[in-house]
A = this chain, B = another copy of it.
């Protein structure tokens, strides 16, 4: 078994794949912030008095477009952020490159699909549920592998 030093390396294609998808998912999450802001301006829905651009406006918390993007964003916090630590630790367990790379792709693609069907163009269920469970299942599998590697 190689040392972990050799795994945290740009020469390790699994690590490079983890780097790429992690950074793409962070940029995707930042896109949620921008999308929330866009809807706030379109619908004039601001949560703070100091954000109101006219004395005629009042703070508002219940615009369905803003709230939809915020729910999708919170779902990202709940699912993508744990992937970052699990994916890193899983890389250090020296997994099969084929399995690891495809798991990272599964997480990355399914979380992008989740955003598209939840917050961009609303697609009927089970589109969102499926994309949610693919990413959750892949991340949970990696977490189990990390526990096995840590325990034995």
Interface residues of A (CB under 8 A from B): 1, 3-5, 8-10, 16-20, 22-24, 26-27, 29-30, 32-33, 47-48, 50-51, 68, 71, 73, 77-79, 81-82, 84-86, 88-89, 92-93, 118, 122-125, 128, 136, 139-140, 143-144, 146-147, 149-151
Are B50 and A122 closer than 8 Å at their CB atoms?
yes
**Which residues of chain B come closer than 8 Å to A149, judged between CB atoms?**
10, 16, 19
6 extra interface residue pairs, beta carbon distance < 8 Å, beyond A16-B150, A26-B143: A20-B150, A26-B139, A27-B144, A32-B78, A33-B136, A50-B128
Are A147 and B20 closer than 8 Å at their CB atoms?
yes
Are B30 and A140 closer than 8 Å at their CB atoms?
yes
Copy number in the complex reads 3
Interface of A is mostly: helix
Contact of A150 among B19, B27, B30 (CB under 8 A): B19
Q: Which residue of B lies closest to A90 (CB)?
A: B23
Q: Which residue of B lies closest to A62 (CB)?
A: B61
**Which residues of chain B come closer than 8 Å to A84, judged between CB atoms?**
82, 84-85
Q: State how many angstroms separate the Cβ of A65 from the closest Cβ of chain B.
A: 12
